[in-house]
Amino acid sequence: MWLMLLGCSEPIWYPTVPTDAPTADTSADTSADTGSVLDTGEDTDTLPCSVDGGASVNQTISNGANVEVAVLWRAIDCSEYEYHTLLPGQEVVQQTYAGHVWVARDLSGAYIDHTDADGGLWEVTP
């Protein structure tokens, strides 16, 4: 039995999506992306989506904004899944894959910043 399990080593390319994770509204910039003082005008429809196949990395995410931020993973189909809520000055280390896209939004859903995971430090700034 144990030897059979060792032979099944299919790589997992995505972070585990929490079963209770809500998806963010990515349909139109006029809904959740406007009206915040931190909204940079970035249209979520133009944000990149995660790509498949990168190396496993640990991405350090630091909240350099002066508000609480939600950190969301943006999937290959551009759906967003919330992983963390960070207070100003807080940071977290997230296991992910090179080429995966992470998005920071304020708690109203307004866009703040995004990054392609590279295993370095991402300081969220408006």
Q: Could you report the per-residue pLDDT of 68-115, keeping only the tens digit for each?
A: 999 999 999 999 999 999 999 999 999 999 999 999 999 999 999 999
- pLDDT tens for 5-25 read 444 444 434 455 544 444 444
The stretch 56-63 carries a mean pLDDT of 97
pLDDT of residue 32: 41
| pTM assigned to the model | 0.68
Q: What is the DSSP letter of 16?
A: P
Question: Which fold is adopted by the domain 22-124?
Answer: Immunoglobulin-like (2.60.40)
Distance between CA atoms of 42 and 106, rounded to whole angstroms?
Answer: 13
pLDDT of residue 8: 45
Beta strands in 38-110 (DSSP E): 56-63, 69-74, 80-86, 91-97, 101-106
pLDDT of residue 12: 39
Task: Provide CB contacts within 8 A for 41, sequence distance 6+.
Answer: none
The stretch 40-59 carries a mean pLDDT of 80
